Amino acid sequence: MRLARQILIWAALGAAIAVPIAAAAASPLLAWRDPVYIAAGFAGIVAMASLLLQPLLVGGYLPGLPAARGRRVHRAIGGVLVAAVVLHVAGLWVTSPPDVVDVLLFRSPTPFSAWGAIAMWAVFGAALLAALRRKLRIRPQAWRLGHTALAAVTVLCSVVHALLIEGTMETVSKAVLCALVVGAAVKVAVDLKLWAIRPRRRA
Amino acid sequence: MTRSLLTRRYLLAAGGALAATGASGLLVPAQAKGLAPTPSMRGGANNYLPGAPIVERIGGGGFWMSGTVRRAGDGAPLAGQRIQIWAHTTEGYERDPHSHGATLTDANGVFRLEMPQIVPAFGQPHGHLAYDSGEFETVFLRPVMASSSDTSLEAHFVLKPV
């Protein structure tokens, strides 16, 4: 019974990530894009999938990955997330430099691009805090609040960014993935009381 | 008591009506300023290639870009004005030279150019248009399609003499 539950959780997670990627791979828009532009789009989807994994790993919700081990994987996925965001922006830059320059300078006409730019700087900030955790020597509570705040901004802005875009992602699978990303983030924040000065850790 | 209240109410109503009439009368001259020039849109000049040739149609066609060109102030239609058009279509990227073309307005200031179907790029199905012939101030437009399945798009220019 326990094994069945574990298999079910992993299967559900696999589907939550695989279905939107498969749906995007079937997008008719791909016919009119070259490989660099297509790769940039999929890097964005991989980044969104990473945003779903991160809170699940921190909360130790995934079978076989309790919190302690989950956090090691959380760090690795954090690296994947940053790399995916860099590839996303770099691929779009190669495809149309002036459009990406407009986004980075917050003067783009598209309403979703500012959200994407803010999410990018927030995720870079969260990753930088993680990389410099030892060196910075800030109090663990302050570190956790800072990392949590930047992660929350990343999640919120990434979801708005993705939902406003008309691109290769299929709309229903995109909305479901976004809802799961927000749900996972809210659940771990509530369970671990991530906003508290002294969090009560789950047993 | 009642009578005096009614009297005051009547005075307020009459005074208010009079004030409203006066105010609206004062606002009327503002409408006589005329047609304001179209400002360039953000991102309108992205992937612009100067000197797009005047063409019968861009590529294989199937999609219609149309609009009007008028003079600021009196709104007179401007004939013979060169409008340049480009977009990410089923046949190429915005930056590809073969995605660019130009056309001239007719006697009524109307232009219409057939081009390949515009497809969503950078998150929105949109086109680009430019007026930069020099007689009037340069304007770059970036209209967005209401739906990516639309097969036409309009953009209107009101140009200000240099």
- Smallest Cβ distance to A98: which of B47, B90, B120? B47
- Residue B28 pLDDT more than 50? no
Q: What percent of chain B has pLDDT over 90?
A: 79
A77: left (phi over 0), alpha (psi -120 to 50) or beta: alpha
Contact B111, B66 (CB under 8 A): yes
Torsion, CA A38, CA A44, CA A47, CA A49, rounded to 10: -80
* CB-based contact B120 A166, cutoff 8 Å: yes
User: Least CA distance to B125: which residue of chain A?
Assistant: A166
ipTM of the complex: 0.84
At residue A197 the predicted structure's pLDDT band, cuts being 50, 70 and 90, is confident
* pLDDT tens sequence across A101-125: 999 999 999 989 999 999 999 999 9
* CB-based contact A110 B47, cutoff 8 Å: no
Does A107 lie at the interface with B, CB-CB under 8 angstroms?
Answer: yes
- Residue B99 pLDDT more than 60? yes
Distance from CA of B118 to the nearest CA of A (A): 10
Comparing B32 with B118, the larger pLDDT belongs to B118
- Residue B149 pLDDT more than 60? yes
CATH topology of domain A2-191: Fumarate Reductase Cytochrome B subunit (1.20.950)
At residue B14 the predicted structure's pLDDT band, cuts being 50, 70 and 90, is low
- Residue B2 pLDDT more than 60? no
- Residue A157 pLDDT more than 90? yes
What's chain A's average pLDDT? 94
pLDDT, position A129: 96
pLDDT, position B32: 45
At residue A144 the predicted structure's pLDDT band, cuts being 50, 70 and 90, is very high
At residue A198 the predicted structure's pLDDT band, cuts being 50, 70 and 90, is low
The token pair that represents B69 in the structure block? 């060109």
The token pair that represents A141 in the structure block? 């509570």
- Residue A72 pLDDT more than 60? yes
| Dist. CA A121–CA A127, nearest whole Å | 10
Q: What is the largest CA-CA distance in chain A?
A: 56
Among the listed residues A106, A128, A126, the one whose alpha carbon sits nearest the alpha carbon of residue A117: A106
Query: Which chain A residues are Cβ-neighbours of B59 within 8 angstroms?
Result: none
The token pair that represents B11 in the structure block? 């005075």
What's chain B's average pLDDT? 88
CA angle at B79 for the pair B75 and B81, rounded to the nearest 5°: 100
In this structure, the strands spanning B63-71 and B152-159 are parallel
Query: Which chain A residues are Cβ-neighbours of B41 within 8 angstroms?
Result: 109
- Smallest Cβ distance to A109: which of B43, B90, B93? B43
- Residue B101 pLDDT more than 80? yes
| Dist. CA A75–CA A69, nearest whole Å | 10
| Dist. CA A34–CA A114, nearest whole Å | 25
Window from A167-181, A189-203, B58-72, B102-116 with minimum mean pLDDT = A189-203
| Dist. CA A60–CA A191, nearest whole Å | 11
pLDDT, position A202: 54
Does B49 lie at the interface with A, CB-CB under 8 angstroms?
Answer: no
Q: What is the mean pLDDT of residues B82-95?
A: 97
Q: What percent of chain A has pLDDT over 90?
A: 88
A residues 152-191 closer than 8 Å to B (CB): 164-167
- Residue A35 pLDDT more than 80? yes
pLDDT, position A196: 81
pLDDT, position A2: 85
Does A102 lie at the interface with B, CB-CB under 8 angstroms?
Answer: yes
Burial of A146 (0-12, 13-18, 19+ CB in 10 A): middle
Strand order in the sheet with B152-159: B110-115, B63-71, B152-159
- Alpha-carbon radius of gyration of chain A: 18
Distance from CA of B124 to the nearest CA of A (A): 6
The token pair that represents B118 in the structure block? 């515009």
Three-class SS string for chain A?
CHHHHHHHHHHHHHHHHHHHHHHHHCCHHHHHCCHHHHHHHHHHHHHHHHHHHHHHHHCCCCCCCCHHHHHHHHHHHHHHHHHHHHHHHHHHHHHCHHHHHHHHCCCCCCCCHHHHHHHHHHHHHHHHHHHCHHHHCCCHHHHHHHHHHHHHHHHHHHHHHHHHCCCCCCHHHHHHHHHHHHHHHHHHHHHCCCCCCCCCCCC
A residues 27-66 closer than 8 Å to B (CB): 29, 31-32, 34
Half-sphere exposure of A55 (CA within 13 A, CB side): 24
Three-class SS string for chain B?
CHHHHHHHHHHHHHHHHHHHHHHHHHHHHHHHHCECCCCCCCCCCCCCCCCCCECCECCCCCEEEEEEEEECECCCECCCCEEEEEECECCECCCCHHHEEEEECCCCCEEEEEECCECCECCECEEEEEECCCCECCEEECCECCCCCCCEEEEEEEECEC
Contact B156, B67 (CB under 8 A): yes
pLDDT, position A172: 97
Q: What is the mean pLDDT of residues B75-95?
A: 97
Query: Which chain A residues are Cβ-neighbours of B122 within 8 angstroms?
Result: 92, 96, 99, 110
* pLDDT tens sequence across A6-23: 999 999 999 999 999 999
At residue A1 the predicted structure's pLDDT band, cuts being 50, 70 and 90, is confident
pLDDT, position B29: 46
Q: What is the mean pLDDT of residues B40-65?
A: 96
* pLDDT tens sequence across A37-47: 999 999 999 99
Q: What is the mean pLDDT of residues B47-75?
A: 96
Q: How many residues can be counted in chain B?
A: 162
